């Protein structure tokens, strides 16, 4: 007799800055359940509604073993597809089903994918500061903790513009100046390399804040600093410009955290126009599509670098890690360093030791949630401020 989906529960919690969405699938086998990440922190209420009002009634009673069929049918049951709300909702279900599959097999999920290619996943942390000197100090702090890969930003995404001449009546917003950002960060990386040399691996995130022709020039200027990768040089709408960057320089490129649709990542991988795929695993629909894309990228020499900020839940980080341990073309894993409260709330959350991320080795995803503790930290709805970005004249701009 098959084990079926008896109930689906959506858990909303905010133990730190990000609003997390966790899906719990309860099965017909008493005591057996699975957890998945459906976190879209800026639109968590919409994902919650999609799960509770649409996916839940669609999935109750289905066989938990049929992960592929459930993913395919969930993706097309709404007819319109490949949007962030629906993909994240499907991801929560998909990851929870993989968790259940592993628990039933008595194995970690990476064993179901094909087994380990490595014992731990190398991670990078986020160094920052308002001056080049402060960024160097931040990098040294990470190095003391054993990190060998470090992302460097000065003044946040796009920097903090200091020489703005706004027009009268300019609205409030997160202002930045593209040229000032580029000049400041070139000086920052020159200072970092002069102080720390070239042994430490450095990354940088443009966060799609440049015009395409500016991104081409900036990537070329950054070539001298030998980055591990330059992230989000272009917005998804400007993917065709990656060819121009490739023709100009050898700076390694990472892209994908905003991607929802296979037609966004497929041409970049097939054309070898990027070096690292950066998709947000819940944004693309969960472990099932991420597994397929990792295998696809391996044929073209494109490595994984799954998105791993604080708005990927601990369950999502566990899913990332199982993919990391298995994928032959693993590159690096972003890590956000959760606080003690989050570790208490999510027993089995992976841990970093000497720059490597290790799983708990429990069956399934190896992670659980303390629902009573999670309930003490409800999500607060608010208007997002940091994505209200503007250019010096007040024009809306990409975050």
Residues acting as catalytic residues: 157, 207
Across 199-237, b (16+ Cβ under 10 Å) vs e yields ebbbbbbbbbbbebebbbbbbebbeebebbbbbbbbbbe
Q: For the chain, where are the alpha helices, taking DSSP H only?
A: 44-50, 56-59, 67-76, 84-105, 109-113, 132-144, 178-196, 212-222, 242-248, 262-270, 287-298, 314-326, 340-345, 371-375
Q: Nearest 5°: phi and psi at 361?
A: 70, 10
Instruction: Show the tokens assigned to 63.
Output: 């066989």
CB neighbours of 324 closer than 8 A, spacing ≥ 6?
118, 121, 304, 306, 330, 333, 357
What's the rounded Cα separation, in Å, for the pair 216 and 230? 11
Is residue 36 a contact partner of residue 25, using CB atoms and an 8 Å limit? yes
What's the rounded Cα separation, in Å, for the pair 47 and 103? 26
What's the rounded Cα separation, in Å, for the pair 356 and 315? 18
Round the CA-based radius of gyration of the chain to a whole number and report it: 21
CA distances from 348 to 100, 182, 240, 271, 358 (A): 15, 41, 41, 39, 10
Q: Nearest 5°: phi and psi at 123?
A: -125, 160
CB neighbours of 343 closer than 8 A, spacing ≥ 6?
349
Instruction: Show the tokens assigned to 289.
Output: 């599509």
Supply the DSSP string of 32-69, one letter for each residue. Answer: -EEEEE---GGGHHHHHHHIIIIIHHHHTT-BTT-HHH
Count Cβ atoms within 10 A of the Cβ of residue 198 and give its class: 0-12 exposed, 13-18 middle, 19 or more buried: exposed
What is the 8-class DSSP label of residue 286?
A: S
Residue with tokens 């972003």: 334
């Amino acid at each position: 007799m098959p084990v079926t989906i008896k109930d689906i529960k959506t858990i909303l919690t905010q133990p730190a800055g990000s609003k997390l969405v966790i899906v719990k699938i309860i099965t017909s086998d008493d005591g057996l359940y699975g957890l998945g990440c459906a976190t879209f922190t800026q639109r968590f209420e919409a994902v919650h509604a999609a799960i509770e009002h649409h996916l839940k009634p669609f999935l109750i009673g289905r066989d938990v073993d049929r992960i592929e069929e459930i993913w395919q049918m969930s993706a097309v049951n709404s007819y319109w597809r490949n949007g962030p709300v629906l993909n994240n909702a499907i991801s929560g279900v998909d990851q929870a089903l993989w968790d259940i599959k592993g628990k039933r097999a008595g194995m970690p999920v990476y064993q179901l994918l094909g087994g380990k290619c490595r014992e731990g996943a190398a991670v990078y942390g986020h160094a920052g500061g308002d001056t080049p000197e402060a960024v160097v100090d931040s990098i040294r702090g990470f190095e003391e903790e054993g990190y060998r890969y470090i992302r460097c930003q000065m003044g946040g995404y796009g920097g903090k513009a200091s020489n703005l001449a706004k027009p009268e009546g300019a609205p409030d917003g997160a202002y930045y100046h593209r040229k000032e950002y580029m000049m400041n960060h070139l000086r920052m990386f020159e200072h970092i390399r002069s102080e720390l040399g070239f042994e430490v691996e450095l990354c940088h995130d443009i966060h799609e804040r440049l015009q395409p022709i500016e991104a081409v020039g900036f990537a070329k200027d950054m070539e001298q600093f030998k980055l591990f990768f330059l992230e989000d040089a272009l917005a998804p709408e400007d993917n065709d410009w990656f060819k121009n960057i490739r023709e100009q320089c050898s700076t390694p490129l990472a892209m994908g955290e905003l991607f929802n649709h296979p037609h966004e990542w497929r041409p970049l991988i097939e054309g070898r126009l990027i070096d690292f795929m950066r998709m947000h695993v819940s944004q693309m629909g969960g472990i099932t599509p991420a597994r397929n894309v990792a295998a696809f990228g391996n044929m073209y020499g494109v490595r994984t670098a799954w998105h791993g900020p604080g708005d990927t839940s601990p369950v999502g980080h566990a899913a990332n890690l199982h993919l990391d341990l298995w994928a032959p073309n693993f590159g690096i894993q972003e890590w956000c360093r959760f606080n003690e409260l989050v570790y208490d709330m999510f027993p089995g959350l992976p841990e970093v030791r000497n720059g490597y991320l290790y799983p708990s080795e429990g069956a399934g995803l190896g992670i659980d949630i303390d629902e009573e503790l999670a309930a003490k930290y409800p999500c607060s709805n608010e208007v997002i401020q940091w994505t209200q970005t503007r250019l010096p004249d007040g024009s809306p701009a990409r975050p």
